[in-house]
Amino acid sequence: MRWASRTAIVFAIVVAFAAAFALTPPRGPRSMRQFEPARLADLETRMWQADYAKARVRRFGLAMTMLHEQYRYSWATAAVEGFHLARAAATFADLHGGYEAVVPDLEAAYAQARSWTGAAFDPRAVARAELAWWVARRTPDQNNAEQIGALIAQQYALLYETTPENVAEPAFLRARAAALRDRQAASPDWDAIARLLRASYDELLHALASANV
């Protein structure tokens, strides 16, 4: 009986520690306006690589890590929202029309972000704006850095509650990274793509900080 009692106590302690680990968010501000550009660019590059390779489990893990580190979600929340983002990307990759099917997952992820950060943006509007530039990249007469950059700027403006002009440069740099990946479909230059994404997030952090001055 003593052995069974001790085992139960040890098990309860392990479960409690596991729950605390999963449910406790990392320290830091709850803000999408504060992030580490180098780390975020690295994670996004690796997510793009996972998308390219159709490595969906790896893509989910990277999305979860990004949300935990950059949004400061608990691991439990990051897992749920990472699933929404990864499923949206995977669903879109398999579609040849009917792209609205990905909106519910994107909207769910942005609704959680709004709640977590106390922001005031419209999750559905942000989700639709993101989908707009995803679709444009599949449309030959729209898939250029200028037009994609303008669409990303529209999404950024909604998400960060600023003006498209304020975030035009980081949006354009991100569009250039996407265009480079599309042009080099056979063998993308991931180092060059990573540099463009790093420059994009550097510019975005600066733009958002300047907007708060």
For 146-168, b/e burial (b = at least 16 CB within 10 A) is ebbbbbbbbbbbbbbebebebbb
The whole-number pLDDT of residue 165 equals 97
The whole-number pLDDT of residue 208 equals 94
Q: What is the pLDDT along the chain (213 residues), one digit of tens a residue?
A: 555 454 544 333 433 333 434 445 557 777 888 899 999 999 999 999 998 888 989 999 999 999 999 889 999 999 999 999 999 999 999 999 999 999 999 999 999 999 999 999 999 999 999 999 999 998 877 778 899 999 999 999 999 999 999 999 999 999 999 999 988 878 899 999 999 999 999 999 999 998 764
The whole-number pLDDT of residue 183 equals 85
The whole-number pLDDT of residue 11 equals 38
The whole-number pLDDT of residue 130 equals 97
The whole-number pLDDT of residue 1 equals 53
The whole-number pLDDT of residue 141 equals 76
The whole-number pLDDT of residue 18 equals 37
The whole-number pLDDT of residue 25 equals 57
The whole-number pLDDT of residue 24 equals 59
Cα dihedral sign, 50-148-189-182: positive
The whole-number pLDDT of residue 185 equals 77
